[in-house]
Amino acid sequence: MAGAAAESGRELWTFAGSRDPSAPRLAYGYGPGSLRELRAREFSRLAGTVYLDHAGATLFSQSQLESFTSDLMENTYGNPHSQNISSKLTHDTVEQVRYRILAHFHTTAEDYTVIFTAGSTAALKLVAEAFPWVSQGPESSGSRFCYLTDSHTSVVGMRNVTMAINVISTPVRPEDLWSAEERSASASNPDCQLPHLFCYPAQSNFSGVRYPLSWIEEVKSGRLHPVSTPGKWFVLLDAASYVSTSPLDLSAHQADFVPISFYKIFGFPTGLGALLVHNRAAPLLRKTYFGGGTASAYLAGEDFYIPRQSVAQRFEDGTISFLDVIALKHGFDTLERLTGGMENIKQHTFTLAQYTYVALSSLQYPNGAPVVRIYSDSEFSSPEVQGPIINFNVLDDKGNIIGYSQVDKMASLYNIHLRTGCFCNTGACQRHLGISNEMVRKHFQAGHVCGDNMDLIDGQPTGSVRISFGYMSTLDDVQAFLRFIIDTRLHSSGDWPVPQAHADTGETGAPSADSQADVIPAVMGRRSLSPQEDALTGSRVWNNSSTVNAVPVAPPVCDVARTQPTPSEKAAGVLEGALGPHVVTNLYLYPIKSCAAFEVTRWPVGNQGLLYDRSWMVVNHNGVCLSQKQEPRLCLIQPFIDLRQRIMVIKAKDQLPGTMATLSLVNEAQYLLINTSSILELHRQLNTSDENGKEELFSLKDLSLRFRANIIINGKRAFEEEKWDEISIGSLRFQVLGPCHRCQMICIDQQTGQRNQHVFQKLSESRETKVNFGMYLMHASLDLSSPCFLSVGSQVLPVLKENVEGHDLPASEKHQDVTS
C-alpha cells in the first residue's frame, strides 16, 4: 500500500488483489453459507467489536453453549467414582470424549492415552515431575532437558523441576536447529539409554511461526540433536497454540507428550486441558503423590499403595472436572457443524493473516518509512510455515517505536481487542526485539515486570503488539483493523475523519438539579472523629430508601466554604483569565470513582488526599468496579457532599441506584494536578481553524473536565509542571511523583457521556512518546493535629528538579489554613 495509496491513507486493497496470483488458492469462509450470517447468529455479542486475540482465548459460539446447557438440563451426571446410574452415565460419557479427542488428532487408544489436566500448563508440570530423569553424578552424565528458546513460560518453568534434582537444562535457539546437520556417530550410541527430553512448540505463540513437525522423528531417531549428548531422546510437542486453528495428525507425527488446552480451540470450557501420552512412553512416567481415584489399594497406617493400572486413572488425581469434559463433546460437534473441520479453519485463518501481513508490510509514510515493523521468521507464504498470528510494533515516520501500551489504548477507542507485551514468551521477545539478558535485568530494576504497561525504557521497546485470528474472524475484522492503523498513522491534518462511538443515551448535559425524583440522598454515620481520622470504610447496597450504612465523615468544621459546585461560568472564566503568579484556580474531588466531578472552593485534606475523594465505586452484578471505559454514562452521575449536614446526595437522571463496594479505593496517587497553560496548548492544537472556518470542537471547560484533576493551577507555560520536583501550596508541601499516563477515558465528554477519539490522538501526536497529561502529587509531610484545607486562590510555589534545596518554604508561611 505504498505510493499514492499510502499518502492518502484511505484505500484498502481488494481482498483478491492482496495475494500472489501464482500462489495456491486458499479458502475464505466455510462453503455456501455466509460468514457474516454465522457471525450474526452465533456471535451476536461481537456486534461493533473487532476481536483479534484468539491466540489468547478464542470465543465460544451461542449454539455450543445452548447445546451444552440443554444436555445438563436433560441429564443427571453424578460423580464418576460412584457406581450409581447417574455416575455410570458420567463415566461412559467421559470415556467417549476421550475417544473423540483421539479421533480429532487422528490417532487411537492403541497409541495414545488422554490424561485430563487443569490446562496445558498443568500438563507440562506433570511431565516435568513424572519424567524418568537421571541425576548427574560420579557414575553418570545424567539426563538433559532441552527446550527451544521460543517457548511459552510454562515450558521454560520445567527447568526449575530438573534443577532441583541436578539435571542440566539447555536452551536451544531456533536458528541452531534450523541449521543443524547430522552429528557424528559418536553422539548416537544405541547402547546408552539415558533418557533426555526435548520440548518445542508446534507454533510460536509470539510470532505464529510453525516449526517442522518432522523434528519429532528426527530427534527421536538421532538424526537431529538438540545437544551432543548420547542417550535416548523423548520429544514433548507443545501443541496448545497450534491446534487452536490447525489439524494435528499424531499418526504421522508421534510425539511422546502432547499438552493441549481446550479453550484455545472452542473458547469454552476454560481451565481444562489434557496431556496426550504415547503409550510407549507412559510406563516410564513416575508418580509420587496419589489422590482420590488413583489407588487400587492403600493403607492409611502403613506405607502401602498400589496404583491403578490405567495410565489416565493413575495420573488424574481426585475427581476430574467431568462437566467440563462433557462440554467438550458439544465443542467438537459445533465446530464440525459450523466449519467442516480443522483443515477449513486452517485455510480460512491463514488467508486472513496473509492478507493482513501483505497490507501491513506495504504501509508507508509519505517519506517512505514503514508504518510497522513485523516480527516473523516467515513470509506468510503457506499455512505449513505460518499460523494466523501477526506480531509487530508501530513506528512513527522517523522509525521510532510507539509504545505498545499507547497502541492498545488507541485500539480500544476503535473497539479493537488485541494483546500487547511479551505474551509469556520472553525468549522470542528477546530474539525479535533485540533485548539482551542484561537489558531484561535493567528493565526489571527500572520497575518493569511481565504484564505491565511500561512499554518503552530509554526509547527501547519492552514488548510488542499481537493480533491473531480465529475461525469466526472475518474480512470485516481485518479491514477495520487496517483502517485503525491508517486513520491513526497516515491521516493528513486537514481532512482526517474522526470515528465516533457515542454512548447509547440521549443525554445532552448533566442531570437537572430540579429533578427531585432523580436525587438519591446518602445518610452518613454520626460518630465523632478526631481531625486526622478519615479512614474510609465502605457502604453497603443502595436501596429505595436511599441510605448508606456507617460511612465515617469528618465532623462539621467551622468556616467551611460552600460545598455545592461553583458556577460553570466562574470555572470557564478562570481558565480564560490572564496568566499571573502560580495559584490554584479550581479544586475537584470525585467521591464516586469514575463518576462526575464535585467542584469546591475550599476542602479538608486527609492523609489519603482530599477528604472523600474516590471513596465509593459503582460495581456490576459480579462485584467488579465499573469505570467510564466500560460505561461512559457514569460521568452523568453527579455526587454532592454537604459536610455540615454530613450527607452525600447523588443526582443521576434516568439511572438506577448502584451498588457500593465495602472498601476504600486506592488510586495512582493522592492528587492529580493539571496546568491551565497545558490545557490552552492542547485546546489550540485541537481547534486549529481550517479554510472552512469550522467551529471549535472542544471548549476549555470540556477539556479540563476530561482530565479529572483534583487541582488546577494557572501556570505560565504549557507543560512546565513536568519539570517540577515538588510544590508548596500555602504551608502544604507535595512531592511530584511523575506524569499521569492517560487512557481512553479522556475521550469521553464528561457532560454528555459521548466518545471522541480526537483528544487522545492529538495528545499522542504532540507528546511524541507517552500520552501524558497532568502530574501526580503526594504529601511530602502532613500534620493532621489540626484541620488542613486546600482552597482556590492559594499560591503555588514550584521547585524545579535541578534546584530542590533552594526553594524550601520560609517558616513564617507554615500555617495550616491554606487560603491565601
Instruction: Cite the active site residues.
Output: 424
Pairing assessment for the beta strands 195-201 and 144-148 based on DSSP bridges: parallel
- d(Cα 57, Cα 662) in Å, to the nearest integer? 32
- Check residue 182 and report its DSSP letter: P
Burial of 324 (0-12, 13-18, 19+ CB in 10 A): middle
Q: In what order do the strands lie in the sheet with 598-600?
A: 598-600, 584-589, 711-713, 671-675, 772-781, 732-741, 724-729, 796-800
SS3 state at 744:
helix
Nearest to 590 by CA among 635, 647, 539, 534: 635
SS3 state at 25:
coil
Q: Locate cell 452465533: which residue?
A: 42
For the chain, the 3-state helix, strand and coil shares in percent, each to the nearest 5, are 30, 20, 50
- d(Cα 230, Cα 723) in Å, to the nearest integer? 62
- d(Cα 573, Cα 807) in Å, to the nearest integer? 31
Distance of CA 435 to the CA centre of its chain: 22
Contact predicate 101/117, CB 8 Å = no
Count Cβ atoms below 10 Å from residue 445 Cβ, excluding itself: 9
- d(Cα 98, Cα 83) in Å, to the nearest integer? 20
- d(Cα 618, Cα 658) in Å, to the nearest integer? 6
Contact predicate 380/712, CB 8 Å = no
Residue 106 neighbours by CB under 8 Å, 6+ apart: 247, 248, 249, 250, 251, 252
Q: Treating both helix axes as pointing N-terminal to C-terminal, what angle do 342-362 and 475-489 enclose, rounded to 10 degrees?
A: 20
Handedness of CA 7, 9, 10, 12 (dihedral sign): positive
Q: Treating both helix axes as pointing N-terminal to C-terminal, what angle do 62-74 and 322-339 enclose, rounded to 10 degrees?
A: 140
For residue 325 the three cell numbers come to 469434559
Residue 109 neighbours by CB under 8 Å, 6+ apart: 98, 99, 102
Nearest to 377 by CA among 198, 171, 201: 201
Give the residues across from 237 on adjacent strands.
200
Each residue of 241-273: b (16+ CB within 10 Å) or e?
Answer: bbbbbbebebeebbbbbbbbbbbbbbbbbeebb
